[in-house]
Amino acid sequence: MRKLKFLLVAFVIFACKDPKKETTDKTQMEEVMIIHDEVMDKMGHLTKLTAELKQKADSTETGMKYQGAMEDLQASYDAMMSWMGNFGNRFNSEEILQGAALTPQKQEWLNEEEEKIIALKEQFNKSISKAEKLLEK
């Protein structure tokens, strides 16, 4: 839990970096963190949609659709929490925030994590879209 808190603080610091210092050539780590930030920006909306769906979910046929959409949103949320924990176990703050060189093993891990976060972004977008459509937003 302590490591997750540290990782979340590191992500916030990374998100607050001075945009003037950034170049147009992003490293793979920066690209992964940009996708992470895009997904994190949707967490509040996801939580709000989950609450709205929960109010409409019941055992009727229509209610079960709301329940299914709510479960999809929760799965997206859980997947993001899991991804962040695993990512934090693989990389340290210097590698994430300061561009420290990666070992060949860590470069392989970064390739894997990039694929995972891209899939996670797609999962988020699909679950949010499904919920919004169901709620007619």
- pTM value is 0.79
Q: Which two tokens stand for residue 21?
A: 């210092």
Q: Tens digit of pLDDT for each residue in 47-82?
A: 999 999 999 999 899 899 999 999 999 999 999 999
- For the chain, domain boundaries: 2-11+28-134
125-136 confidence digits (pLDDT tens): 999 999 999 999
Tokens in use for 48? 């709000």
Measured at the CA of 40, the angle between CA 38 and CA 43, to 5 degrees, comes to 120
Helix, strand, coil percentages in the chain from 3-state DSSP, rounded to 5:
80, 0, 20
Compute how many other C-beta atoms are within 10 angstroms of the C-beta atom of residue 76: 25
What is the distance between the alpha carbons of residues 54 and 97, in angstroms, rounded to a whole number? 38
At 73, which helix (H) or strand (E)?
Answer: helix 61-90
Residue 20: what pLDDT?
Answer: 46
pLDDT at 92 over 90: yes
